[in-house]
Structure 1
Amino acid sequence: MTTYGYFLSCEEFPPAALLEQARMAEQAGFEALAISDHYHPWNDEQGNSPFVWTMIGALSQVTSLPVTTLVTCPTVRLHPAVTAQAAATSGVVTGGRFRLGLGTGEALNEHILGGPWPEARVRIEMLEEAIGVMRRLFTGEQVSHRGTHYTVQNARLYTLPEEQLPIYISGFGPQAAALAGRIGDGFVTMAPDVELVERFRKSGGADKPVIGGTKVCWSTDAARARSTAHRLWATEQLPGELAQLLPTPAHFAQASQLVTEEMVGSSVVCGDDVAEHAAALREYTAAGFDEVYVAQIGPDQRGFFDFYRSQVLPQLAD
């Protein structure tokens, strides 16, 4: 049975709003939470970007739902040894309800320290080495490592969760899907792509979870919802590797001028048609996903949660 969760967008909301959304999500019947990890928002219209590890600590105090990062990049902005400590502590403060989603990241967040932004092949290589370092640290043993990309000297994590910390690996292409199957505990990909899921399953992920997510814009006025979705999240319609390569919110705003409101409306569920909302989530179930996270675009969070509690989630349960 598919688990339906709520996606907390750090790019769009300040900390207090995210905590309130977490409370409302649990009250509405969502079964899990996911949260983004960014240094910058995608554009200035979104206007936020709180530190994800602070947010996870706060979430542990306001909700009993499991929390997954979708996703953290442990390769450039934060060294994998530091990310491992943050993740291990998150596992402890949530009482074992934390799962670590990892990916190769975007220049938007990772270039801030001034180093080069590697090509995709190298980023995948860096991610695999980083995961190896982190898994060794999660054993609680002292670790020294001198690899192609990372050095660790006499590092040991003293605060560790009782249970093994699951690592989910994000990917949007066959190479990343294969890596997730081979070394991950689960696979994260945003589109309901059957071929990618099959690649993950055949690469060692046969009995491991597949996690995905989508955004919607609930409103009783569909036209207003499309306008809101376009203003805040036109960036999601940019093609190819632009999302991984553009370095600043200003560059994303420039590129988003090529994205029309109609383009956003054709790919994002906007309005209050129950059947459309349910069908968008069922696409993931049909593609073999085990967990699906949905995010509400814009300020009308209370209306969204009431709508999903009373109409959408009961239909999905049926």
Structure 2
Amino acid sequence: MTQIGYTLSSEEHGPNELIEHAVRAEEVGFGFASISDHYHPWVSKQGHSPFVWSTLGGVAHATESLPVGVGVTCPIMRIHPAIVAQAAATAATMFDGEFFLGVGTGERLNEHVTGEHWPEHAIRLEMLEEAIEIMRTLWQGGQQSYYGDHFTVENARLYTLPEEPPDIIVSAYGERTAKAAAELGDGFWSVGPQDEVEIFDEAGGDGPRYSQMTVCYAEDEEEAIDTAYEWWPNSAIAGELNSQLPTPTHFEQACEMVSREDIAEGSIVTDPDPETHIDNIQQFVEAGYDHVYVHQVGPDQESFFDFYEREVLPEFQ
């Protein structure tokens, strides 16, 4: 059965708001939540980027049994994989096993802040492979060391461990990363109904398949388009720019080429008709995803919660 989840958008909301949103998502019937891990928002208008691991502690205590995952973190630059392993083990313990870890090769926007060289994607994929190996090794318990081409771990032991290690869900764009996800991960992660899930399947991939659907619900579609254009114009930036631009200012400059018409005709669902939302979710299901999480753009989350509780979620329960 397809699970419908909710996006905790760290770029648009502060930590206390995100905790409140997680509680509401559980109350109205969402089956899980995904929380983004950013050092910067995409554009300054979005206004936030709280430290995800602190927010997760609050979410774990405020919710009853809502599964939550980081979607996605990059365990190869800004934070060493040994530290991500500790953070994820603690989160999984606090969520009593209802925690999953999405990982990917990252965006320069978030990872360049320590001043390290931003490698090309092939190198970052090698680094991700080592990072996953390190995390799984540390989750086995006991004192561990690791000497790789990219990372070193010396005499490290995680004393706080969950009963079972969290699933590692690997984000993939393109054939190469989709095949790597099948080899390295416990599942597959994407944004939008990408064709890579078929490559993941053909390469022997197993486990849950996550993808995000971005919407902007308002009673009036013109209002929804205006809100999406103001708060999430980066949705219309195509190609590799999303992983290469270093600051929100650069994204704002790129977004100067985005028009309101691009948003109206793009991938954000702005039609307030519930059948449009249901049909779009169904497209993800038909593409092979069993976990579809919905990102509501903009400040008004409560109207979205009410709308989905009444009109959309019952179709998938």
TM-score band by shorter chain is over 0.9
Return the offset for 1:95.
0.7
Aligned AA (2:226): S
Residue identity in the other structure for 1:106? E
| Matching residue's letter, 2:33 | L
Instruction: Measure the CA separation in 2 of the matches of 1:23 and 1:61.
Output: 10
1:204 alignment partner, SS class: coil
Match of 1:246 in 2: 245
Aligned equivalents of 1:265, 1:27: Cα separation in 2: 31
1:44-63 matched pairs, under 5 angstroms: 44-63=44-63
Map of 1:183-262 to 2, 5 A cutoff?
183-193=184-194, 195-205=195-205, 207-262=206-261
- TM-score scaled to structure 1, two decimals? 0.97
Q: Aligned-pair RMSD on alpha carbons?
A: 0.9
Shift, 1:13, TM fit: 0.4
2:100 partner SS? strand
Name the SS for the 1:244 alignment partner.
helix
Q: Map of 1:1-318 to 2, 5 A cutoff?
A: 1-63=1-63, 64-193=65-194, 195-205=195-205, 207-266=206-265, 267-317=267-317
**Deviations 1:254-278 (CA, angstroms, capped at 9, x unpaired):** 0011111111122211141111111
- May I ask how many residue pairs the two structures share in their alignment? 315
Do 2:2 and 2:316's aligned partners in 1 also have CA atoms closer than 8 Å? no
Partner secondary structure for residue 134 of structure 2: helix
Question: Contact between 2:93 and 2:161, CA under 8 Å: does it hold in 1?
Answer: yes
Q: CA deviation at 1:88?
A: 0.3
**Paired amino acid for 1:215:** T
Q: Which runs of 4+ in 1 moved over 2 A?
A: none
Residue 10 of structure 2 contacts residue 50 of structure 2 at CA under 8 Å; is this kept in 1? Answer: yes
What amino acid sits opposite 1:77 in the alignment? R
Distance 1:108 1:275 in 2: 36
Q: Distance in 2 between matches of 1:29 and 1:116?
A: 43
Distance of 2:302 and 2:238 partners within structure 1: 32
Q: Secondary structure at the match of 1:65?
A: coil
Q: Which amino acid aligns with 1:213?
A: Q
Work out whether residues 92 and 165 of structure 2, in 8 Å CA contact, stay in contact via their aligned partners in 1.
no
User: Residues of 2 paired with 1:141 and 1:274: CA distance?
Assistant: 51
Identity among equivalent positions (%) equals: 49
* d(CA) in 2 for partners of 1:146, 1:22: 39
Shift of 1:138: 0.7
**Structure 1 position 24, deviation (Å):** 1.1
Q: Give the drift of 1:315.
A: 2.5
Separation in 2, partners of 1:7, 1:61: 18
String of CA shifts for 1:197-226, please: whole Å, max 9, x gaps. Answer: 111012221x31111011111101111110
* Alpha-carbon distance, 1:23 to partner: 1.2
What SS does the corresponding residue of 1:75 show, helix, strand or coil? coil
Residue-by-residue CA offset, 1:252-311 (whole Å, 9 max, x unaligned): 000011111111122211141111111111111000101000011112211111100011
What is the rounded CA distance, in whole Å, between the counterparts of 2:228 and 2:250 in structure 1?
A: 19
Q: What is the CA distance between 1:59 and its match in structure 2?
A: 0.4
- C-alpha deviations, 1:35-80, integer Å up to 9, x for none? 0000000010000000000011100011120001100000000000
Return the TM-score normalized by structure 2: 0.97
Work out whether residues 89 and 165 of structure 2, in 8 Å CA contact, stay in contact via their aligned partners in 1. Answer: no
| SS in structure 2 at match of 1:22 | helix
Q: Deviations over 1:68-114 (max 9, x none)?
A: 11000000000000000000000001111110000000000000011
